DNA sequence: TTGACATGATACCATTCAGTATCATAATAA
DNA sequence: TTATTATGATACTGAATGGTATCATGTCAA
């Protein structure tokens, strides 16, 4: 039903795209700079960036002949909103999850 | 790198599987019961359940000739944990979800 | 025991997907 | 201007994916 949610989930389903998202969390990067960090062609990276853009997870700003790819954190909202559906079950069924997150934070 | 994280993300990337997860949040269901709720064959539902099981999101318990599919909320931990990397970027809405999780942890 | 029921498993099909190769275009530098 | 650089776009390929059809197996009920 909600295509935005679906596009965001789909964008995050690929490990390369999740890596890109993490990289863009640290700094804005051009396609060329991102390509340097992966073992694949620029065209492949560009495709991933298109999927991420469709998923609302990044924005692209043209600067001269370069394209600055920037993380758009709000794009993760639909995904986390989906998880919030489970709030009502949190106490009964997600106790272990909370503990797992807490444990990893220490 | 982390195959469990990848399997969980992949399992949640399909809208039918996310629907199944929501249904199982309300009640445990057999394959037949789930099939009644979708417009696809039992074999297709079974495949989705296998993917969800691989992703650690459900458990299956044999009871007689039936298979009880049960939500395994801890399976979402790897996914939410991945998101926690972006703590610094979360806006208010996303923080609210996170705080709701934290609160219920106490 | 026998038949019906719930599921498992496999083969097959169409589509999507991740990736490459290749060529075109726009901007920068010499 | 001309060469180089950064990117866009398209066609193609192999693998994965979502789905169906079909048959086998185990369990329950009469």
Q: pLDDT tens digit string along A42-54?
A: 999 999 999 999 9
Q: Specify whether the CB–CB gap between A66 and A30 falls below 8 A.
A: yes
Contact B77 A96 (CB under 8 A): yes
How near does any CA of chain A get to the CA of B87, in Å?
Answer: 10
The predicted pLDDT at position A78 comes to 92
pLDDT tens digit at each of 106 positions of chain A: 689 999 999 999 999 999 999 999 999 999 999 999 999 999 999 999 999 999 999 999 999 999 999 999 889 989 988 998 887 665 544 444 444 444 444 4
Beta strands in B1-76 (DSSP E): 29-30, 58-63, 66-71
Contact A94 B83 (CB under 8 A): no
The residues, any chain, with a CB within 8 Å of residue A3's CB and separated by 6 or more, are none
pTM for this one? 0.87
Provide residues of A within 8 Å CB-CB of chain B: 1, 6, 9-10, 12-13, 15, 18, 22, 25, 71, 73-74, 76-77, 79-87, 89-91, 93-94, 96-102, 104-105
The predicted pLDDT at position B20 comes to 98
SS3 assignment, position B69 = strand
Measured CA to CA, the distance from residue B15 to residue B81 in angstroms comes to: 21
The residues, any chain, with a CB within 8 Å of residue A15's CB and separated by 6 or more, are B1, B6
Name the residue facing B89 among A71, A94, A101 (closest C-beta).
Answer: A71
Q: Does residue A15 reach within 7 angstroms of strand C, measured from its CB?
A: no
Q: Order of strands across the sheet with B58-63?
A: B29-30, B66-71, B58-63
The H or E element that residue B26 is part of is helix B15-26
Q: Specify whether the CB–CB gap between B54 and A44 falls below 8 A.
A: no
Angle between helices B3-12 and B77-84 (to 10 degrees): 100
The predicted pLDDT at position B90 comes to 62
Burial class of residue B41 (count of CB atoms within 10 Å of its CB; 0-12, 13-18, 19+): exposed
Helices (H) and strands (E) in chain B, counts: 6, 3
- Per-residue pLDDT for B87 more than 80? no
Bridge partners of A29? A69
Q: Specify whether the CB–CB gap between A12 and A79 falls below 8 A.
A: yes
* Distance measured from the CA of protein residue B68 to the C1' of nucleotide C14, in angstroms: 32
Cα end-to-end distance, chain B, whole Å = 32
Name the residue facing A18 among B22, B82, B89 (closest C-beta).
Answer: B82
């Amino acid at each position: 039903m909600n295509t935005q949610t679906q596009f965001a989930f789909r964008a995050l389903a690929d490990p390369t795209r999740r890596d890109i998202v993490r990289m863009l969390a640290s700094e804005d990067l051009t396609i060329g700079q991102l390509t340097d960090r992966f073992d694949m062609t620029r065209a492949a990276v560009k495709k991933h960036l298109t999927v991420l853009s469709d998923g609302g997870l990044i924005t692209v700003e043209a600067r001269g002949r370069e394209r600055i790819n920037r993380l758009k954190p709000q794009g993760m909202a639909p995904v986390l909103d989906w998880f919030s559906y489970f709030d009502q079950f949190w106490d009964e069924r997600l106790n272990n999850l909370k503990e797992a997150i807490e444990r990893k934070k220490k």
